Homo-oligomer: A and B are copies of this chain.
Amino acid sequence: MLAPAALRALDANDPLRDKRQEFILPEDTIYLDGNSLGPLSKRAQTRVASVVTQEWGDDLIASWNKHSWIDLPTRVGEKIAPLIGASPGQTVCCDSISINLYKLLGAALNLRADRSVVITQADNFPTDIYVADGLSRFLGDRKCRLKSVEAKDIIASLDETVAVLMLTQVNFRSGAVHDIEAITRRAHDAGVLVVWDLAHSAGALPLAMDDWAVDFAVGCGYKYLNGGPGAPAFVYVAERLQEDVSQPLSGWMGHAKPFAFSHDYMPGQGVQRFLTGTPNILSMASLDAALDIFADVSMPQIREKSIALGETFADCVNAKDALTELKLASPQDSQQRGSQLSYSHPQAFAIAQALIAHKVIVDFRAPDIVRFGFTPLYTSYTDVWQAVEKLAEVVRSKVYLQDKYQQRSKVT
């Protein structure tokens, strides 16, 4: 375990250290929950104020042209594209992950009309499963049959009945990472299309949609991309599929000429046709501004620090006698996990609450996980060390047994 002085030295030499100035974080708080909700940045704050007061307030409806509101879904998509290894013309920002998954599953089923099975992982994020389940109930078993399998059985499940495989790269509970390239290749060998959910990947891990021959992907705007609460999600559709693809949620923003107000739907160019309704300008502009923070950093650079932060955290935990009752629920190998560490404990909920009360913001994930997210743009090595100090104090003192830490809220 590194001594605090050594951690301070790491911070001093951290090439990303100045990025913290981009963010407005409450004082004395260690925020290890950027994988749930990225924090406010100065850019987002300024931009939202300007969109509200100048663009909406002064320029009103003219802003659709004057401030290019109409291009925001494309512009934001193209800012996300380099973060996920996508060349231009394949990424748009819109709607939520749930809704975008529905579009992509529908699109994949349309392209594989002779097959009906949708495979997903049994411990995928619930909304992914709910969306596929809803689609399957809506279309009927003959057209869409959902099968949930264990991680180890994914490859074996890919046969000639399978239309689409839908997976999340980084497991929301454990942080375990899938090898997108290898799984996609195996899926393609079986004629299966793959929809990747990058919720816990985009902005955290180096990604290479194009090089890995990914078909479809969705991702989140409000976690590592710091777009703000409920910021819109994004969609990636590989160029090679765009000409033939159609998706079920066709709306006016996906039309080739939305303002021709024509009676017949004519899908827009390429990924444009994955847009549906009017974009949420306030939320999307906030994301647009926050993405500029990534302009001069590389994803490998972020990943390198993320791994170092995670390893520092794990080392500090391992060095504390009080913390032996926490069980690592993430892969041991830091290359095999996302930008988080999860530990299980029977009192995980109350421990998370007590930590939050002590200004270390973490997540509880049912049934028994405390989740620590590492966000290299604004988290220091010293933060990580301090977080473990507080964690050890909470666990050692059993302060979490107090009633106030045991009470469940609506959102956990």
Give the Cβ gap from A40 to chain B, nearest Cβ, in Å.
4
Q: What is the count of identical protomers in the complex?
A: 2
Would B361 and A276 count as touching, CB distance under 8 A?
no
The residues of B that contact A49 with a CB separation of less than 8 Å are 49, 52
Q: How large is the interface on A (under 10, 10 to 19, 20 to 34, 35 or more residues)?
A: 35 or more
A45 to B53, CA, bound (A): 7
Would B249 and A102 count as touching, CB distance under 8 A?
yes
A251 to B29, CA, bound (A): 32
Would B229 and A63 count as touching, CB distance under 8 A?
yes
Would B44 and A99 count as touching, CB distance under 8 A?
no
Would B40 and A276 count as touching, CB distance under 8 A?
no
- Residue of A131, A253, A255 ringed by the most chain B CB atoms within 10 A: A131
Contact flags (1/0) for A41-73 with B, using CB distance below 8 Å? Answer: 000110011011101111111111100011100
Partner of A48 from B31, B62, B282, B411 at Cβ < 8 Å: B282
Would A31 and B60 count as touching, CB distance under 8 A?
yes
Interface flag for A202 (CB, 8 Å): no
The residues of B that contact A59 with a CB separation of less than 8 Å are 26
Closest to A367 in B: B261
Closest to A64 in B: B411
Contact flags (1/0) for A91-106 with B, using CB distance below 8 Å? Answer: 0000111110010001
Would B70 and A410 count as touching, CB distance under 8 A?
yes
Interface flag for A283 (CB, 8 Å): yes
Would B52 and A45 count as touching, CB distance under 8 A?
yes
A284 to B96, CA, bound (A): 14
Contact flags (1/0) for A124-141 with B, using CB distance below 8 Å? Answer: 011101110111011100
Would B252 and A127 count as touching, CB distance under 8 A?
yes
Partner of A265 from B40, B134, B265, B286 at Cβ < 8 Å: B134
Give the Cβ gap from A303 to chain B, nearest Cβ, in Å.
23
Interface flag for A279 (CB, 8 Å): yes
Interface flag for A209 (CB, 8 Å): no
Contact flags (1/0) for A106-129 with B, using CB distance below 8 Å? Answer: 100010000000000011011101
Interface flag for A230 (CB, 8 Å): yes
A136 to B264, CA, bound (A): 13
Closest to A255 in B: B130
The residues of B that contact A65 with a CB separation of less than 8 Å are 409-411
Give the Cβ gap from A264 to chain B, nearest Cβ, in Å.
8
Interface flag for A37 (CB, 8 Å): yes
Interface flag for A39 (CB, 8 Å): yes
Contact flags (1/0) for A367-409 with B, using CB distance below 8 Å? Answer: 0000000000000000000000000000000000000000001
Can you list 18 contacts pairing A with B, beta carbon distance less than 8 Å?
A: A24-B53, A24-B57, A37-B60, A48-B52, A63-B229, A64-B229, A97-B277, A127-B252, A133-B250, A134-B246, A134-B249, A134-B265, A137-B250, A228-B282, A231-B280, A259-B411, A261-B365, A280-B280
Listed from nearest, the 5 A-B pairs whose CB atoms lie closest are A96-B277, A134-B250, A98-B251, A98-B277, A229-B281
